[in-house]
Structure 1
Amino acid sequence: MVKRVCRICSLVSETEKQFCVECGTSFFDDGSQSTSGVSTVANSKATASLVIGVLGFVLFGLVLGAIAIVLSSMAKREMRQEPSRYNNKGAATVGLVLGIVDLIAGAFFVGAIF
């Protein structure tokens, strides 16, 4: 076994594998490629805002729309701080749009009742 240290996450590992088991970075990448070597992940807040936005649209949810907007805003802020880390930027945008639509539809629904 060969002892290797990941240049991204600093994990020390005795392995014959070509990639870090923690972050997926190639041990043999010399950095000359245009990619950063950091694996991207889905932002859970963006995914949650998308799901809650869809549920709010189906249920005419004023509260769900507001939650979708807040989660989307938090996800977008995290994505601006670490732009190369997250791979689902579109989910945050769609969650925001659906949250706004939820608020408008919910307001019309409440207005129709009263």
Structure 2
Amino acid sequence: MGLLDGILGQAAGSPVIANLAEKIGLSPEQVTAAIAALGAAHGQPGDTVAGAADSTGLSPDVLQQILGHLGGEGALGNLGALLGSAQGEGGLGSVLGNLGGLFGKS
């Protein structure tokens, strides 16, 4: 999940991540780590939120809130597709714009 980690690491200071962090009551860095963990756990057998909670130490309730803001588990698959297309089409700015759409912000 290196590409996701790299992009989310760069995105930690973005207004999209900052807005979500404020809504949830976490730091932008915690939100980026949570999104990365949710993305990694989504591809693994078992419960996505429980897997992300195990790897981050964040409560399942907080992770469920983040997942809800992302648009649910289906959005995690969409996030992977966005990241794949961003490699050749607009890079980080494209991903952040699309993440803003996922979060209901532009």
- TM bin, normalised by shorter chain, reads under 0.3
Query: Which protein has the bigger helix share?
Result: 2
TM-score, normalised relative to structure 1: 0.25
